[in-house]
Amino acid sequence: MTVSYSDTRDLTIPHRCPEISVLSPVYMGEQSIPELVDRVRQAVERVTNDYEIVLVEDGSPDGSWRSVESACRQDRRVKGIRLSRNFGQIYAIMAGLAATRGKYVVVLDCDLQDDPMYIPDLYRAAQKGADIVYTRKQRRLHGGARNVLGRSFHTLFNLLVGKRELRTESTIGNYSLLSRRVVDACLSFKECHRHYLGILRRLGFDATSIDIEHRDRPYGKSSYSVYKLLRVAVDIITSETDRLLYLSIGVGLGLVAIAFAAAVYIVIAYFVHGFREGWASVFVLILTSTGAILTALGITGVYVGKIFEQTKNRPLFIVRDRLNFPDDAAAEANRVSSERERYLAVENV
């Protein structure tokens, strides 16, 4: 267990829950962390001085953890969590949610495209009674290909998911504010394959949104390639809806109907025109039916694979280090005290 940098204060004083926790999953954020912490601090202090900043380093290959350590040394309100490897953004968010203690939790990315200056607006919207406050971006600065893929994904997802309350919008991202009861409800979900916004939509709590501007990325570039985005899209769709299975059934029944109609036509054409060779049509029919079968098997395999992963019941994430968490400091102090008592007892024998 890692001792926090703030372990010198009086551990007998109960630690009060802050008003706001700001949570940011960190990946490839070595350069952005100092500016992120500074801008979050400036924004939150416009509302309250009772806050904490929780940075969850998700197995980043750069020096992100060094930046987190530096921020924690400079301010005990900054808390660091280091995962043992890269588990993925959603699991880094879940690790952070489990560690936050604020009455409200703000979730934002570390790349500074989500501007912390909107945190006071999120907080004011929550004070009007909303448990979830989303941010709506009128224009996303991700590049043409990624924006087109994003809009296409949301259109397909909304067609498949069906229920209006579960539909998504391409202008809404992870930057959001959650009340404490929403955080507790999020942590009660048990599935290993999950989508942050999908979970929030399923909770059913009162939600609202504010309009924000999406900023340019000041440091580095996105770690999401087109292939990775497609993998994420497939994972989200198969985690949120089973309509692809029903769609594969529909395609199969459609091909059966076409085959039956073709058989009737062939019989009639035989008596009217006589036998004709049709290897091209047979070839196309075989390819079509084989492709449909393999697609249906693939869709089924994805769902079966998810069931297999769920039955393993593995932890969603593993924490390697924690910094500036008072509970860790208290536990470490108790451990050291116990070991010292045991040592003294042995010495006195």
Instruction: Give the whole-angstrom CA distance, residue 249 versus residue 247.
Output: 5
Instruction: Give the whole-angstrom CA distance, residue 209 versus residue 132.
Output: 8
The predicted structure's pLDDT at residue 134: 94
In a domain, 199, yes or no: yes
Are 104 and 146 found together in one domain? yes
Task: Say which CATH number the domain at 235 has.
Answer: 3.90.550.10
In a domain, 265, yes or no: yes
Residue 212 forms beta bridges with which residues? 137
Instruction: Give the whole-angstrom CA distance, residue 215 versus residue 85.
Output: 29
SS3 for 109? coil
Are 114 and 235 found together in one domain? yes
Residue 108 in contact with residue 24, Cβ under 8 Å? yes
| Residue whose tokens read 């500016």 | 35
The predicted structure's pLDDT at residue 11: 34
Are 206 and 269 found together in one domain? no
Are 48 and 104 found together in one domain? yes
Max Cα-Cα span within the chain: 111
In a domain, 203, yes or no: yes
Q: Which residue has the higher pLDDT, 32 or 256?
A: 32
Instruction: Give the pLDDT confidence of 36-75 residue by residue, as tens digits.
Output: 999 999 999 999 999 999 999 999 999 999 999 999 999 9
- The single-letter code of the amino acid at 202 is R
**pLDDT category, 258, cuts 50, 70, 90?**
confident
Sign of the dihedral through C-alpha 323, 88, 138, 216: positive
| Helix or strand (DSSP H, E) at 179 | strand 172-179
SS3 for 12? coil
Which phi and psi angles does 60 have, rounded to 5°?
A: -70, 140
Are 218 and 169 found together in one domain? yes
Other beta carbons less than 10 A from residue 103's beta carbon: 17
In a domain, 136, yes or no: yes
Max mean pLDDT among 165-174, 196-205, 238-247 falls in 196-205
Least confident stretch, 49-53, 54-58, 297-301, 335-339:
335-339
The predicted structure's pLDDT at residue 276: 60
**pLDDT category, 338, cuts 50, 70, 90?**
low
In a domain, 15, yes or no: no
Instruction: Give the whole-angstrom CA distance, residue 157 versus residue 255.
Output: 24
Total domain count, the chain: 2
Give me the mean pLDDT over the 279-285 stretch.
Answer: 67
Give me the mean pLDDT over the 113-121 stretch.
Answer: 94
Look at residues 240, 235, 233, 236 and name the one whose alpha carbon lies nearest to residue 162.
240
Are 196 and 274 found together in one domain? no
Are 218 and 247 found together in one domain? no
Are 109 and 204 found together in one domain? yes
- For the record, the structure tokens of 262 come out as 């073709």
Q: How large a percentage of the chain has pLDDT more than 90? A: 39
Are 216 and 180 found together in one domain? yes
In a domain, 336, yes or no: no
The predicted structure's pLDDT at residue 153: 72
219 to 56, 185, 216: CA distances (angstroms): 18, 34, 9
Instruction: Give the pLDDT confidence of 176-193 residue by residue, as tens digits.
Output: 999 999 999 999 988 888
Q: Which residue has the higher pLDDT, 204 or 347?
A: 204
Are 253 and 180 found together in one domain? no
- pLDDT above 60: residue 330: no
Least confident stretch, 188-192, 211-215, 289-293, 312-316:
289-293
Show the domain range for 294: 243-312
Are 145 and 196 found together in one domain? yes
**pTM score > 0.85 for this model?**
no
Give me the mean pLDDT over the 104-121 stretch.
Answer: 94
In a domain, 268, yes or no: yes
Are 74 and 111 found together in one domain? yes
In a domain, 3, yes or no: no
- pLDDT above 50: residue 3: no
